[in-house]
Each structure stands twice: as C-alpha cells, then as structure tokens.
Chain A
C-alpha cells in the first residue's frame, strides 16, 4: 500500500442549513504539490479550516501521518507538522518581523518563566537555536533587511512572504497555502511561484495550494482538484483538468478557455 501523508475521507461540514463541504476526499502523497481550485464560495477555505483544526467537521475523518487528527486542536495539529497560511493576511501586525517569526517557534521552545528570568544556560541555548532558525528563514525569504521593521509597515508583497516564512518557523512537513498570490501583480506572482518551488525543495515540504490565479496553480501543482459545492468535481493533472467539460462549466465558464 502506498503511504499518504494526508488522507481525508468523506468530509462534511454544515453551518446551520448551509452545507459548505460535502463529501470531500483527498489522498495526498508525500513531497507532492496539490492545487485546489474552484469558484468563490466553493468551500476551499472551509476545507483548509477543517484540516488545520480551526473548525470541526460535521462528519468525516482526517488522517495526517497515520494519526487521526479530526478533532485535534490547532496547536496539536501544528505540533505534528501541519500548518497553513491565511487568505487575508493575518500577521501580528504590531510586532516586528523578527517577533512574528519568534512567536511561531514557541512550539519548540521549552523554557519557562524562571529559567528566562534568571537566564539559565538552557535559556541561552534555546534562544540561540531560535535565533539561528530566524536568521536562516530570513535569509531564504530575502527578509534580512526588514528584521526590525514592524510588520504592518512592510509592503504588501513582503507581508505575504512573511506570512509563509512564519508558517515555516513551526517546522512543518505539510503546508496549506491559502491564495498566496492574492493581491499581487503578475511579476510578484511569478517571483512567488519561484519562491514556493525553492522552499519546497529546501524544506522538503508537501504543499496544498488554494489559488485563483490559474498560471500559478497550473505551473506549480502536479495534481489539481476542482471543488464546487463542497465536493471534488474533477481531479487530475493541470492539463486534464483544464480540458474537463464539467470544470469548464463550473469554474472557467463557457466560451474560450484562457490558461
């Protein structure tokens, strides 16, 4: 049997009378990049919220690295190596770039009040390790000059980058990227695609990307799932999906298809 890093079985979520996710399925092999596309309101972000533990499903099962994480708290899910970014940026906006990254390393820090108050050796060792990882991540993301900058003062494109950088501080194996290129211009989006390719290799990540920008998804994803009304209506390589008549109708509309 092949190993899947993430398996989602028959996932349902309703909010009152509205069914946002109905029978979503996923078998995600490690080291892959999956794309998740679909019209607005199709339930893509809800699926991310369910997988990352922010909301709990009505029915279904989520298995990550062989563990059933369906009803785990977000912090427990992160601790197991699954994290995400947000569609609308949610940086800790009053904190510096460095602090944003440091908070995310919280998980792996073990020192308590007393050891930091009295500066035990373990505190310094831990601080050094966190600083090393911060330096490394800043380097990879070209954010070194902005280290001391308050994150809300950064230009938009850099805030997006910081959001991804922060997610990587938690040492994840699987990252869910929710519309990483939202609000970027074409050039910025191309740079972002390049960056995502680079970090995937550098950190050996498995990725799921929700994206509206077709060029980005089609360029990055090996497999694309098309979601409509909360379930998968088509799945396959970017080329296959683009030519699927059901997809064209649901998502791309009728008429000429422009990739």
Chain B
C-alpha cells in the first residue's frame, strides 16, 4: 500500500501545502523581526484575499494574470490601511498593545466577513485551466499545484534578493537590529515598516487565492488556523529569519500531509495537533528554532 509512488505523491502534496505556509510565514517573520509583533491580522488577509479572488476570478471571470496583480495590490492596500489605522499610533508603546490590537483586528475582520458573505463555506470553482489533471506513472497533479510551487519559488527568490540587496531590504534588517540607531542612520522608520506590512499582506492575500484554488473551499474563518500554523512555521524555522520561515513552512506542510498519509487513519483527525507537537519537539531541541539565532534581551 505504501508504494514509492504513494510516498512521492504525498510528498508533493506536502510541499504544495508547505509553500503556502512558507509564503505566509515570510510576511509574518518580517513584521515580527521589525516590530516584535505576532500579527494575527495576517490570517485575516488570507480570508480577504480568498474572497476577493473568488469574486473577481470565479464570479466576474477576470483573466488569471490580471487577478494575480489585483489580489496582490488589494492585499498590499489592506496591509497599508491596517498599518496606518491600527499600528502606527501604537509604536513605542508596550508590545502587548500591538498584539491585542492585531487580535482585535483579526476578530473584527472575521466577523465582518461572516456578516458580508454569510457563515456558509463557499465552493471556489477555479477556472478549468487551473484544475487540468496531469497523470504520470508516479504522480497525479493539477496545474494549480505546479502554479503554487513555481510561484512560491519565484516569490521567495525575489524576497531573498530584496532583503539582501536592496536599500529597502537592508533598511529592514537594520531596523530589526535596532530601530533607534537605524533612524539615526537616516532611515525613515515608518515608511520601511509600512513597506513590510504591504509586502506581507500582499503575500497573505495571494496565498488566500492559492488556498481557494487548491482546496476548492473558502470560508469566513479559514484564516485563523492557517495563520496560527504559519506562525508555528515562523517559530519552528527561527523567529525573524527569512530562510527559516521558508524552511519552517515546508517542514510543517510536509509533516502535516505525511503524518496523515502514513499514520493509521485513526490519527488523521489529529493533523492539527501533530503540527503543534512538532513545534514543541523542535523548541525542546532548539529553543531558537531551526535557523534562528539566540536573541539578546533588548534593554
């Protein structure tokens, strides 16, 4: 029963899910690195992005390429609004105030969505060119799987270049190290933080689209657990580390799928629990995550 083909198939499924987690974790880890904020509202952007694409791609039938740009723009805009409305005024205050605000915004958006789109899940009927099935001797997959993997690799590569090479990326790293000194070096803090929110939120909205197209079902509360798992990916990979977020995301996706695939069916209901068990195990062995560095206590 557990043939090589089966293993390959499940590994691919795991990688696809892992890519989604990784993209979410990317946005979260950057915001956390800069502001020490666990941005729960990040999860809400998944829901918003999913419904946004549902309405423009599935209902209005806007072409895929245009949809991609629109959903990225929409997510970015939402991120900017969130930063300006919710977080900007709280900077310099206690970190827990930011945390509670983000939780509040998540709850607000979730309930708002519940009111607008109804508590019923929606069937996300992706256009047929996304759901074409390919069968090979080992693997069966759809266009969307290739799309997710390809897009994720491209995005992660761009993001890596962005953080390493560009002025803005270097500014982000400087702020993550020390906000005050970064401002004395001539870096405009608020602008850089806004950019981090815009990028992270655009990615989150984009993963909402991926999620809908891949799993075919979206609902007003889809962002919560996904968002929390993305944060687990951040912690497993090493908080604040960009490569760590990617690795953490993929590990988490693989673990979730492979555990369901290879453990007796009795365990499959515990797939979310397994994710958190992995978190605990990793933290027991490496308290700062797989690629994290030990963080100094900031005075």
Contacts and interface: CB of A to CB of B under 8 A. Distances in A.
Contact of A103 (B158, B182, B188): B182
A104 B185 contact: yes
A178 B189 CA distance: 23
B292 to A, nearest CB: 12
Interface residues of B, number: 25
B183 A86 contact: no
Contacts of A94: 177, 293
B184 A78 contact: yes
A107 B166 contact: no
Interface in B163-197: 165-168, 170-171, 173-174, 177-178, 180-189
13 contacts: A54-B180, A75-B189, A83-B185, A86-B181, A90-B180, A90-B181, A92-B174, A92-B177, A95-B173, A103-B182, A109-B167, A117-B158, A117-B161
A117 B162 CA distance: 8
A52 B183 CA distance: 10
Interface of A: 52-54, 73-75, 78-79, 83-84, 86, 88, 90, 92-95, 99, 102-104, 106-107, 109, 111-113, 116-117, 166, 169-170
A95 B177 contact: yes
Contacts of B189: 73, 75
A106 B178 contact: no
Contacts of B161: 117
B165 A116 contact: yes
Nearest to A86: B181
Contact of B184 (A84, A95, A99, A109): A84
B170 A106 contact: yes
A112 B162 CA distance: 10
A102 B186 CA distance: 12
A254 B186 CA distance: 44
A170 B182 CA distance: 12
A22 B166 CA distance: 43
Contact of A106 (B181, B186, B299): B186
B185 to A, nearest CB: 4
Contacts of A117: 158, 161, 165-166
A116 B166 contact: yes
A75 B182 CA distance: 8
B183 A74 contact: yes
A74 B184 contact: yes
A28 B98 CA distance: 41
A113 B166 contact: yes
Nearest to B184: A74
Contacts of B167: 106, 109, 111-112, 116
B295 to A, nearest CB: 11
A102 B174 CA distance: 11
A45 to B, nearest CB: 13
Query: What 7 A-B pairs come out closest when comparing CB atoms?
Result: A107-B186, A74-B183, A78-B186, A104-B185, A92-B177, A90-B181, A103-B174
